[in-house]
């Protein structure tokens, strides 16, 4: 295996990377292609560092909340003939093929 060398970023390089990332609306690949011309670094190292900067600078854009849609039941149910109950459920969920009642 080839030896890996540690690569440190100067503050001016980090500042340039942050500014160009903000200018390109957090588009990492476009920013990396732009910075290859000015910095003496490989594309993979630039992409990795830009992803790190993007995650630290704007963590809300990275984490997308999963939205769960709840099917709201109708207030009145048409019960089959001969079916009745004397108590009210705490919650009722109506689906296409079945109904769930929680007591």
Better pLDDT: 10 or 68: 10
The helix/strand count (H/E) of the chain reads as 4, 2
Mean pLDDT value across the chain: 78
Q: Tell me the pLDDT tens digit for each residue of 73-92.
A: 565 667 778 777 667 778 88
- pLDDT band for position 98 (50/70/90)? confident
Contact (CB, 8 A) for 36 and 43? yes
- DSSP H helical segments within 24-77, as ranges? 28-38, 43-57, 59-62
Domain edges within the chain: 11-62
């Amino acid at each position: 295996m080839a030896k890996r060398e540690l690569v440190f970023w100067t503050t001016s390089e980090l500042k340039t990377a942050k500014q160009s990332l903000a200018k390109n609306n957090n588009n990492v690949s476009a920013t990396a292609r732009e910075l290859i011309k000015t910095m003496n670094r490989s594309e993979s190292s630039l992409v990795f560092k830009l992803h790190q900067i993007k995650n630290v600078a704007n963590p809300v854009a990275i984490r997308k909340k999963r939205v769960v849609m709840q099917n709201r039941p109708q207030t009145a149910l048409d019960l089959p003939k001969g079916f009745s109950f004397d108590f009210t459920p705490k919650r009722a969920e109506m689906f296409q093929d079945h109904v769930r009642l929680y007591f």
